[in-house]
Each structure stands twice: as structure tokens, then as C-alpha cells.
């Protein structure tokens, strides 16, 4: 089956749609777009990108545009990625939460949760840090992502042996069960601490209580500078004073932001 080439006008149409709807900048991703969409479009019986876009952009359920996002965004993550953040969570952020959250109802948001490794890692660190002191606390983590496919994988919580190789042996023993096929599944005690939901970061952030900690790592690389700056200010507005905000190590918060720099890729609302 011959791959379908994208025309200049079709490429521009897709770039504008993705930017307006999701804040994702694909202006320099023409090769990636053709590599990920051409075969799929042909297999589904469309003769051009325009035919597919007409269907996808007008799908009243919105499911087809989510399918399009699933195809075009890379969900690459692993346990203990950028481990300095997790050390800082254990040594600084959780002691701060324990001292300042007087009603024992902490708000923690993993805003680009991908296939679950990040929120589950946070949940394991919380469990280990609080131990028997965890009783009476609500320390559940809100984990959101745009991709429904990746959220379904995250909810299952099953990973290959290679996928958990960076996990400490004590965690493998306490927080995973080994399956007959050699894969590992996160135990229910940890799974129950993570609430997975679909969310578009371009939408209004609705919340009942300000957040104590927000992780938004390695997703803003898809956004241009104005989109990223506006999103960071929205995060600031929904955080508690003293709350911590973390981005990926390849990312940074603009100097114009109201966040205070704490250490690389780690910021605080003062």
C-alpha cells in the first residue's frame, strides 16, 4: 500500500489545528507527521490527508482528534526518570507537606502522566516516606494526560522487567507483583493512590483546593514560548503559596514568571 504524501496546505491545516486546539507546535515536524499518519490514513481507506482531516476535525465525539494526538505525540518515560526530582520530593517537598498541610488533605498533580511511571513513582515515595504516619492523610495523586491510549496503559500498571530496571529492589518486592509472563504489575495499594483522568492542558484548570505539588515534566517541549508562559502562569494561579512546581530538565520557566527558582527544573510559589 502506497504511503500518502501530505501537501503544503494540508500540513499547514494540521499545524494550525493542533496549535489552536492543544497548544502543540508541529511546525517543524513534517517528516514525523508523514511517518506516523500516511500508512494509517491509507489503511483506513482515505485517499488524502484532507479527506481524513475533514472526518477527524468534524467528529462530534472528539475521539478521532484524540486518536490523532495519540499518533503524533511521543510518550517516552520510565521509572525514576530525572531521579534528582524524586530525591527532592522525599527530602524537601514531603516534609514541607507534612508540616504545612494541617487538614492532612494534600493536593498533588502529575500533569503529564504518560504511561504511569511518574505518578506511581511519586506514590511509592509517599508510601515509603510516611509509613505508619500515612493513616488519616489523603495523599492521592491526580494524574492527567491528553492521550486516552496511554491513560488506559497507565491504569493497568503493568511493565516489562526492562521497564522497571531502575526501580530499587525493595520497591520491586513491596510495590510490584511478578506475572507469569515475566512482566510486573503495580500492587493495588499503590494503584489506589493514583487517580487517572484525561485532561487537555489548554483547558481551564478547575480545582477544589490549591495544589501543594505539581509535576509537569517533558511535555512543554511541544509548546511554543507564549503557550508555555501562559500555561505556567495558570499553574501558578492554582497552587498554594509555598507549593512546588517541577518541569523536565530540558525545560525551564521564563524569568518573567512569578515562580521562584529553587534548583534546576524546580520552582516554588512564594
Are the C-beta atoms of residues 26 and 15 closer than 8 Å to each other? yes
* pLDDT tens for each residue of 5-45: 999 999 999 999 998 988 888 898 899 899 989 988 999 99
Q: Helices in the chain by DSSP H: which ranges?
A: 8-22, 30-43, 49-57, 63-72, 83-88, 94-100, 117-130, 148-156, 169-175, 188-191, 225-237
Query: What rounded mean pLDDT belongs to the chain?
Result: 92
Q: Check residue 220 and give its pLDDT.
A: 87
Q: Check residue 34 and give its pLDDT.
A: 92
Is residue 54 one of the residues assigned to a domain? yes
Tell me the C-alpha distance between 160 and 170, whole Å. 17
Are the C-beta atoms of residues 14 and 33 closer than 8 Å to each other? yes
Q: Is the pLDDT of residue 1 over 60?
A: no
Q: Is the pLDDT of residue 83 over 90?
A: no
Q: Helices in 49-115 by DSSP H: which ranges?
A: 49-57, 63-72, 83-88, 94-100
Same domain, 35 and 125: no
Q: Check residue 261 and give its pLDDT.
A: 95
Same domain, 145 and 227: yes
For residue 52, the domain's CATH number is 1.10.155.10
- Domain span holding position 105: 83-268
For residue 107, the domain's CATH number is 3.40.50.150
Query: Which residue reads 500533569 in cell numbers?
Result: 111
Sign of CA dihedral 24, 30, 31, 34: positive
Domain ends where: 42, 72, 102?
72
Q: Is the pLDDT of residue 75 over 60?
A: no
Same domain, 140 and 205: yes
Domain ends where: 72, 94, 115?
72
Q: Check residue 11 and give its pLDDT.
A: 96
Same domain, 241 and 135: yes
Is residue 206 one of the residues assigned to a domain? yes
Which three cell numbers, joined as nine digits, stand for 163? 521497564
Is residue 90 one of the residues assigned to a domain? yes
Same domain, 137 and 262: yes
| Predicted confidence band of residue 74 (pLDDT cuts 50, 70, 90) | low
Tell me the C-alpha distance between 164 and 133, whole Å. 27
Is residue 127 one of the residues assigned to a domain? yes
Domain ends where: 72, 99, 126?
72
Same domain, 171 and 259: yes
Is residue 3 one of the residues assigned to a domain? no
* pLDDT tens for each residue of 116-148: 999 999 999 999 999 999 999 999 999 999 888
Q: Is the pLDDT of residue 236 over 90?
A: yes
| Predicted confidence band of residue 181 (pLDDT cuts 50, 70, 90) | very high
Q: Check residue 127 and give its pLDDT.
A: 97
| Predicted confidence band of residue 78 (pLDDT cuts 50, 70, 90) | low
Q: Is the pLDDT of residue 155 over 70?
A: yes
Tell me how many domains the chain contains.
2
Same domain, 165 and 36: no
Amino acid at each position: 500500500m502506497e504511503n500518502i504524501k501530505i501537501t503544503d496546505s494540508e500540513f499547514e491545516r494540521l499545524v494550525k489545528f493542533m496549535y489552536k486546539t492543544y497548544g502543540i507546535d508541529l511546525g517543524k515536524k513534517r517528516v514525523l507527521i508523514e511517518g506516523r499518519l500516511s500508512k494509517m490514513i491509507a489503511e483506513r481507506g482515505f485517499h488524502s490527508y484532507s479527506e481524513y482531516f475533514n472526518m477527524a476535525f468534524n467528529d462530534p465525539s472528539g475521539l478521532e482528534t484524540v486518536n490523532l494526538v495519540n499518533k503524533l505525540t511521543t510518550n517516552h518515560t520510565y521509572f525514576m526518570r530525572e531521579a534528582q526530582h524524586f530525591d527532592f520530593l522525599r527530602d524537601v517537598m514531603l516534609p514541607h507537606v507534612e508540616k504545612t498541610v494541617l487538614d492532612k488533605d494534600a493536593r498533588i498533580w502529575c500533569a503529564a502522566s504518560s504511561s504511569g511511571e511518574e505518578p506511581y513513582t511519586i506514590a511509592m515515595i509517599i508510601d515509603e516516606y510516611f509509613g505508619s504516619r500515612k493513616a488519616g492523610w489523603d495523599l492521592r495523586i491526580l494524574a492527567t494526560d491528553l492521550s486516552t491510549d496511554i491513560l488506559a496503559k497507565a491504569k493497568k500498571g503493568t511493565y516489562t522487567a526492562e521497564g522497571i530496571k531502575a526501580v530499587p529492589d525493595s520497591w520491586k518486592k513491596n510495590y510490584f507483583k511478578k506475572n507469569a509472563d515475566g512482566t510486573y504489575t503495580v500492587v493495588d495499594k499503590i494503584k489506589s493512590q493514583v487517580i487517572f483522568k484525561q485532561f487537555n492542558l489548554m483547558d481551564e484548570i478547575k480545582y477544589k483546593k490549591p495544589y501543594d505539588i505539581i509535576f509537569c515534566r517533558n511535555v512543554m517541549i511541544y509548546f511554543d514560548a507564549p503557550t508555555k508562559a501562559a500555561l505556567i502562569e495558570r499553574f501558578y494561579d492554582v497552587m498554594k503559596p509555598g507549593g512546588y512546581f517541577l518541569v523536565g530538565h530540558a525545560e525551564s520557566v521564563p524569568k518573567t514568571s512569578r515562580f521562584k527558582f529553587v534548583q534546576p527544573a524546580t520552582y516554588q510559589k512564594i
